Amino acid sequence: MEKGNSADLNIREILKPYLQKRLLFLISIFLMLIVAMYFIKSSVPVYKIKSTVLIKDAQKMSSASGDFGILQSLGAMPGMGTSSIENEIDIFKSKSIIEDVLKNVNFQTPVYAKHLLYNTELYGDNLPVIIRVVNERKDAEFSGEPIDISIQNNMVKLHSKDFSKDFTSPFDKVIRLPFADIIISKNKDFKNSKESSQNLSNLFFTYTDFEGTVDAFRKGLQVNLSNKEGTIIELSLDYPEKEKAKIFLNKIVLQYNLYAIEDKNIQSKRSKDFIDERINLISRELGDVETQKERFKSTNNIVDLPTEAKMNLQLKEGTKGRLLDIDTQLELNRDLQNFLSKKGVSDVLPVNIGLNNDAATKGILDYNELVIQRNKLLENATSENPLVKEIEKQLALMKSSVNQSLSKNEVSLDFARKRMLSEMGTSEGKISQIPFQEKLFRNIERQQQIKENLYLILLQKREEAAITMAITSEKARIIDQAYALRKPVSPKKIWILGIALALGVILPFLYIFAKILLKNKIEKGSDLTTNTQIPLLAEIPRLGRKEKEYIETNDTSQVAEAFRILVTNLKYILPKKDSAKIILVTSSVKGEGKTFVSVNLSLALSSGVNKVLIIGSDIRNPQLQRFNNNMKNATGLSEYLHGEVQDPKAIIHPSNFHSNCDFIYSGSIPPNPAELLENGRYEKLIGEVSGQYNYIILDTAPLMLVTDTLLISQIADATVYVVRSEFSEKEFVHFAEGKINSEKIKKAAFVLNDVHASNLGYGNKYGYGYHADVEKWWQRLFNFKKNNS
Task: List pLDDT tens digits, range 608-641.
Answer: 788 999 998 888 888 888 888 788 788 888 999 8
pLDDT of residue 596: 92
Q: Name the DSSP class of 169.
A: E
* Torsion-angle region of 185 (φ positive above 0: left; ψ -120 to 50: alpha; else: beta): beta
Q: What is the pTM of this model?
A: 0.54
Residue 654 clears pLDDT 70, i.e. is over it: yes
Question: In this predicted model, what pLDDT tens digit does every residue of 704-742 receive, in sequence order?
Answer: 888 888 988 899 999 999 999 888 888 888 888 888 888
Position 580, amino acid? A
pLDDT higher for 750 or 15? Answer: 750
Residue 78: the pLDDT is: 39
pLDDT at 61 over 90: no
Between 7 and 736, where is the model more confident? 736
- The pLDDT tens digits for 221-271 are 999 988 888 889 999 999 999 999 999 999 999 988 888 887 777 767 777
Cβ-based neighbours of 177, under 8 Å, separated by 6 or more: 158, 163, 167, 207
Percent of all residues in the chain with a pLDDT value above 70, rounded to a whole number: 85
Q: How confident is the model at residue 21 (pLDDT cuts 50, 70, 90)?
A: confident
- Cite the beta strand spans of 120-186 per DSSP E: 120-122, 129-136, 147-152, 155-159, 167-170, 174-176, 180-186
Q: What does 623-638 look like in DSSP terms, one character per residue?
A: -GGGG-GGGTT---HH
In the DSSP assignment, the letter for residue 769 is: S
Query: Which domains can be identified in the chain, with CATH numbers?
Result: 2-43+501-517 (no CATH), 48-257 (no CATH), 265-479 (no CATH), 525-788 (3.40.50.300)
Kindly report which listed range (273-282, 349-358, 565-574) carries the lowest average pLDDT score: 349-358
Query: Which pLDDT score, from 0 to 100, does residue 287 have?
Result: 82
Calculate the average pLDDT of the chain: 80
Q: What integer pLDDT is reported at residue 262 of this predicted model?
A: 79
pLDDT above 90 coverage of the chain, percent: 17
Model pLDDT, residue 526: 80
pLDDT surpassing 90 at residue 359: no
Whether 440 and 289 have beta carbons less than 8 Å apart is answered as no
Residues 6 or more apart in contact with residue 142 via CB below 8 angstroms: 162, 178, 179, 207
More confident residue, 555 or 650: 650
Residues 6+ apart with CB under 8 A from 306: 434
User: 81-94 pLDDT, tens per residue?
Assistant: 344 788 888 888 89
121-151 tens-digit pLDDT: 888 888 888 889 988 887 777 777 888 888 8
- Asked if the model's pLDDT at residue 11 lies above 90, the reply is no
Most confident segment among 53-62, 170-179, 255-264, 376-385:
170-179
Measured CA to CA, the distance from residue 113 to residue 196 in angstroms comes to 9
133 in Cβ contact with 180 (< 8 Å): yes
> For residue 728, how far is the Cα from the chain centroid?
47
Q: 236 or 659: whose pLDDT is higher?
A: 236
Confidence band of 521 (pLDDT split at 50, 70, 90): confident
Helices 436-470 and 307-342: angle between axes, nearest 10 degrees: 50
- Containing 294, the helix (H) or strand (E) segment is helix 242-300
Q: How many C-beta atoms surround the C-beta of residue 326 within 10 A? A: 20
Whole-angstrom distance, CA of residue 173 vs CA of residue 152:
15
